Amino acid sequence: MTTNPKRPPHYAGRLFFTTDDLTRLGLPYANTTRLRWEAEGKFPKRVRLGGRSVAYLADEIDAYIAQLAASRGEDA
């Protein structure tokens, strides 16, 4: 079974976004900024995939983007 390199990885039916995916989604925040915002509860927490690999749950990133749009009074 081959994986599509353009598609984020899956785990148990859940879609994950890597930091590269976040940049493509228009969230090009520096790692230190994301870490600080995670600690402050302002950004979704990372999921450790193993070793030094981390990713973000796509549903949580989608909700974060929708929250940003809602704070402007717009739909995502």
Q: What is the pLDDT along the chain (76 residues), one digit of tens a residue?
A: 455 555 556 655 578 899 999 999 999 999 999 999 999 999 999 999 888 889 999 999 999 999 998 998 766 5
pLDDT computed for residue 14 by the predictor = 75
Q: Where are the domains of the chain?
A: 10-70
pLDDT at 40: 98
Phi-psi region of 64 (alpha: psi -120 to 50; beta: other; left: phi over 0): alpha
Number of other residues whose CB lies within 10 A of the CB of residue 62: 15
pLDDT at 72: 87
pLDDT value for 6: 58
In the DSSP assignment, the letter for residue 47 is E
